[in-house]
Every structure is written in structure tokens, then in C-alpha cells.
């Protein structure tokens, strides 16, 4: 039995069809989401408590988690996890510190130009709920915010049916300096951070993943009310391997993507001629079958693999073309040697995050090597980068001209203002230089 549909070296005009994302068509939720945001804007906390009752099935009297509860979380998290979080935090922090920007400065003939780097004042982080606590999401959002120097970092996450937030979330948050935590989730949490309520002060930018309601809410506020990090969508991986890569490793990479859910997608490109490629593909299929036996939720994994595709492409250039056309969130490159891997890397222009060689599984970047796991999905990697320290700062341009600097520039300004028909733009120069008052 084959889990993956196979395609041999497809022509470029079939790329868009073969690389189509599997986002299941679902009913349009833009109206109910707009109604939630409007209610939050109009009624504030009252609406938040009502929606929490409706969607999270719990009646709360307050939204903010008291400091005492956050502090007590430390006792409730086991030592192995605490140690792991400390290692992950140190690694993520180091890489995001290396990303810190410096403002450029340029001076000539009485004109000084520079960029002033400032952290965004108040940022809002969203951490989805669910059966397991998404501690890595907390680290990936809060650490760059802290490294950037954001003064106020707010976190919203839905409560469980007892009105509680998992202590591991609270522990991870306070480890990263986040103490303003609200138990509120869904579109209502996004609405609250975007518009502000009595409890939750409006933020300047919203970050983080979420379900369809959260994603739709971010899209809606993003065009009118509040900056957002990235358009979001289901997760995906593309693996480029040749016959030197261990098929067991490749199978494990595809399966670790598949476990994210039925809408996630795992793509495999085998860089080989047709005959070798088919043999290698069989080896990967065998390894998938073996590993599926060891995993729970086999049916769900098989359903997810049904979205996946396998391509056999003879040339490295052809692999690069296909990989760039897909613009994968995660791209694993596992080839004969480092030289070949670097050669392919040099041709890649569209990807969220790239993992090189046999010892770099996606999990390393998902959790603890130091790179950020908040990445552009759904082909957005063509136009966007993943989250980084850059996402939490602004660069404000500043200029100071001396009188001489303005005099030198004046003829240029006058000619351009004249061409654009903006007389007062020209006069703002002329009155300064005494030609008119």
C-alpha cells in the first residue's frame, strides 16, 4: 500500500495544481467573527465573560490571572520540563539577541539621516488552548518580545472548563517575563486586544497562532484596528532527499508533520532519476508503514498523509524550482553531502525555515535550537519572513538638515514639487531660505 501520491518530474505548468494546499473548504465565519468583535468593542468585559461562558463553558468573575496563581505555577510543573524550558529559553534568547538591529546613520553635506530603533510599546500574544499546553508557543512569542524590549507584554489564552490555565503555560510565561495574563480565548480575545476593554488595555500588535476563529479575527482587526504578525494557516513541511538520506529519517519527518492534524501537509521531493527514485520512494513507504505501527491515532495520521505528495525530480535545479513554487513553511534538505545541500540552499528563495542535513529534524526548530517556529504557511513565505526580533521593533527614520544642507537640496526639492504640482511643499523650503515669507 502506498501512502503518498507519486509524480515524476512534472512540467512547470502543472506546479500550481500539484502543489495546491489542502485547506478544506469550510463554511464562511466572517460574519459571526465580525459580530463577536463588534460586541467586544461595544460591551467590553461583559461581552468577554459572556462569550467565555458560551464557548469555553465556564463562568468567570474576572479575566486577569492573579500574580499569586502565576507564582504558584512553579510548584506544579515537573523538574524535567522546567530544565527543558530553561535550555530552550537560553537557545531561543541567544539567537533572537543576535538579531537585534542597529540603526544606520548616514551623514553628508549638512544632511544627517538615521533610523531610530524602538520596541513596540505594548504587544499581545495569543496562545491557543487544547488538551496539551502549548508551552513552545509561549517561548516563541514572549522571548523575542522581551529581547526587543517591549515594555508591556500581554498574553491571552482560553481557560479550561474549571476556569483554569495550565500551570505549564503560566510557568513558561513568567519565565519569559510575562505577568499580564488573561484567561480569554478565541475571536473575543483578539477583539479585546485590538479594541481594548476595562480589563484589557488595547495593544499595538497581536501575535500568535490559533484556530479558524482566531485567524479570521486577526485578519479582520489587522485591516482596520491593530497590527498583526502574519496571515496564518495549517502547518506544512517539504522534505528534499536523495537516495543517500536514511528513509527512516525521512518517514519520521513526514509523520511528525502529519500529526499536526488532517489539514497539515507533508511533501517529499526525491532528487534522483526515475528508477532510483521509485526504489527510494518504496523504502520511504515501508518506513512509514513500520513507524505508523508505533504511533497512536493511526487513522488520523493516515488521513493526513492522504494530502501528501511525492515527487521524483532528477535535477537539483528542478528540485529548487518546485520547492520555491511551493514556498514551504518548513523545508528539510537531506542530501548526499553538505556541499550538495548548500548548493540547493543557495537556490532557495521561498521558505519559512530550512533544516539542513540528517541531524536537523523539524522538532529541533519547533522547540529548542533557537530559531522561531512562528512561520509563514500557505505559500506566504513568498512575501513574508517568520517571526523574529524584527517583528517586535519599529525603525523610525530621523533627519536633521543644516541650513547649508537645505540650501544644497533646495533646487531638487523645487523641481520635484513643481512637477507634482504641490506648491506649498515648495514654499515650505522657500520661506526657510528667505526667498519668500
| Catalytic positions, written as ranges | 329-330
Cell of 171: 510557568
DSSP code, position 194: H
10 Å Cβ neighbour count for 419? 8
Of residues 14, 57, 286, 400, which one binds its own copies by CB under 8 A? 400
Q: Which of residues 170-199 bind its own copies (CB under 8 A)?
A: none
Q: Scan for cell 489587522, then name that residue.
A: 222
Shortest spacing between CB 304 and its own copies, in angstroms: 10
Burial letters for 4-25: b for 16+ Cβ neighbours within 10 Å, e otherwise? beeeeebeeeeeeeebeeeeee
Q: Which of residues 295-324 bind its own copies (CB under 8 A)?
A: 295-296, 301, 324
Under the criterion CB under 8 A, does residue 164 sit at the interface with its own copies? no
Under the criterion CB under 8 A, does residue 431 sit at the interface with its own copies? yes
Q: Quick check: helix, strand or coil at residue 110?
A: coil
Shortest spacing between CB 274 and its own copies, in angstroms: 28
HSE of 272 in the Cβ direction (CA atoms, 13 Å)?
24
3-state helix, strand, coil in the chain (%, to 5): 50, 20, 35
Closer to its own copies by CB, 180 or 362: give it: 362
Shortest spacing between CB 43 and its own copies, in angstroms: 18
Shortest spacing between CB 255 and its own copies, in angstroms: 5
Of residues 2, 35, 289, 396, which one binds its own copies by CB under 8 A? 396
| Separation CA 404–CA 270 (nearest Å) | 63
Q: Which of residues 409-428 bind its own copies (CB under 8 A)?
A: 409, 411-417, 419-428
Closer to its own copies by CB, 60 or 227: give it: 227
Closest CA to 407 of 110, 105, 112, 108: 110
- In sequence order, the β-bridge partners of residue 394 are 118
Contacts of 412 (CB under 8 A, 6+ apart): none
Stretch that binds its own copies, among 36-44, 173-181, 271-279, 390-398 (CB under 8 A): 390-398
Closer to its own copies by CB, 52 or 96: give it: 96
The helix or strand, by DSSP H or E, that contains position 35, with its residue range, turns out to be helix 30-43
Of residues 98, 198, 279, 306, which one binds its own copies by CB under 8 A? 98
Shortest spacing between CB 275 and its own copies, in angstroms: 26
Of residues 49, 148, 170, 258, which one binds its own copies by CB under 8 A? 258
Phi, psi of 27 (to 5 degrees): -65, 150
Q: Which of residues 228-247 bind its own copies (CB under 8 A)?
A: 231
| Separation CA 222–CA 204 (nearest Å) | 11
Closest CA to 237 of 358, 346, 361, 128: 361
User: Distance of alpha carbon 91 from its chain centroid, rounded?
Assistant: 18
Closer to its own copies by CB, 211 or 219: give it: 219
Stretch that binds its own copies, among 37-45, 64-72, 314-322, 379-387 (CB under 8 A): 379-387
Shortest spacing between CB 121 and its own copies, in angstroms: 6
Size of the site for its own copies (CB under 8 A): 126
Under the criterion CB under 8 A, does residue 381 sit at the interface with its own copies? yes
Q: Which of residues 34-93 bind its own copies (CB under 8 A)?
A: 80-81, 83-85, 87-88, 91
Closest CA to 351 of 385, 390, 315, 317: 385
Cell of 5: 501520491
Q: Which of residues 339-368 bind its own copies (CB under 8 A)?
A: 345, 348-368
Amino acid at each position: 500500500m502506498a501512502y503518498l501520491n507519486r509524480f515524476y518530474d512534472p512540467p512547470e505548468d502543472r506546479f500550481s495544481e500539484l502543489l495546491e494546499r489542502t485547506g478544506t473548504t469550510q463554511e464562511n465565519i466572517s460574519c459571526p467573527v465580525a459580530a463577536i468583535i463588534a460586541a467586544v468593542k461595544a460591551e467590553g468585559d461583559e461581552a468577554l465573560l459572556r462569550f467565555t461562558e458560551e464557548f469555553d463553558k465556564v463562568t468567570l468573575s474576572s479575566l486577569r490571572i492573579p500574580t499569586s496563581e502565576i507564582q504558584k505555577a512553579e510548584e506544579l510543573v515537573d523538574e524535567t520540563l522546567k530544565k527543558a524550558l530553561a535550555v530552550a529559553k537560553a537557545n531561543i534568547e541567544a539567537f533572537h539577541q543576535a538579531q537585534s538591529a542597529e540603526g544606520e546613520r548616514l551623514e553628508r553635506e549638512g544632511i544627517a539621516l538615521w533610523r531610530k530603533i524602538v520596541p513596540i510599546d505594548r504587544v499581545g500574544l495569543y496562545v491557543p488552548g487544547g488538551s496539551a499546553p502549548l508551552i513552545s508557543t509561549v517561548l516563541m512569542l514572549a522571548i523575542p518580545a522581551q529581547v526587543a524590549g517591549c515594555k508591556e507584554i500581554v498574553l491571552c489564552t482560553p481557560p479550561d472548563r474549571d476556569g483554569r490555565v495550565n500551570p505549564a503555560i503560566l510557568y513558561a510565561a513568567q519565565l519569559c517575563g510575562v505577568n499580564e495574563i488573561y484567561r480569554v480565548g478565541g475571536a473575543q480575545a483578539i477583539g479585546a486586544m485590538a479594541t481594548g476593554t476595562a480589563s484589557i488595555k488595547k495593544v499595538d500588535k497581536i501575535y500568535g497562532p490559533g484556530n479558524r476563529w482566531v485567524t479570521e479575527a486577526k485578519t479582520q482587526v489587522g485591516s482596520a484596528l491593530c497590527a498583526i504578525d502574519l496571515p496564518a494557516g495549517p502547518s506544512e513541511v517539504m522534505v528534499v532527499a536523495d537516495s543517500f538520506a536514511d528513509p527512516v529519517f525521512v518517514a519520521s519527518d513526514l509523520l511528525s508533520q502529519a500529526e499536526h492534524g488532517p489539514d497539515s501537509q507533508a511533501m517529499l521531493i526525491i532528487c534522483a532519476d526515475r528508477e532510483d527514485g521509485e526504489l527510494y520512494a518504496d523504502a520511504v513507504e515501508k518506513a512509514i508503514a513500520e513507524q505508523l505501527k508505533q504511533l497512536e491515532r493511526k487513522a488520523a495520521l493516515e488521513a493526513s498523509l492522504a494530502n501528501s505528495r511525492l515527487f521524483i525530480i532528477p535535477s537539483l535545479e528542478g528540485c529548487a524550482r518546485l520547492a520555491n513554487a511551493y514556498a514551504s513553511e518548513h523545508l528539510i534538505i537531506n542530501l548526499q553531502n553538505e556541499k550538495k545541500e548548500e548548493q540547493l540552499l543557495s537556490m532557495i528563495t521561498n521558505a519559512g525555515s530550512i533544516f539542513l542535513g540528517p541531524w536537523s529534524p523539524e522538532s529541533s526548530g519547533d522547540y529548542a535550537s533557537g530559531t522561531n517556529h512562528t512561520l509563514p504557511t500557505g505559500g506566504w513565505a513568498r512575501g513574508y519572513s517568520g517571526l523574529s526580533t524584527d517583528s517586535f521593533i519599529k525603525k523610525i527614520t530621523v533627519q536633521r538638515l543644516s541650513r547649508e544642507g537645505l540650501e544644497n537640496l533646495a533646487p531638487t526639492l523645487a523641481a520635484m514639487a513643481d512637477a507634482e504640482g504641490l506648491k506649498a511643499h515648495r514654499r515650505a523650503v522657500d520661506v526657510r531660505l528667505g526667498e519668500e515669507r
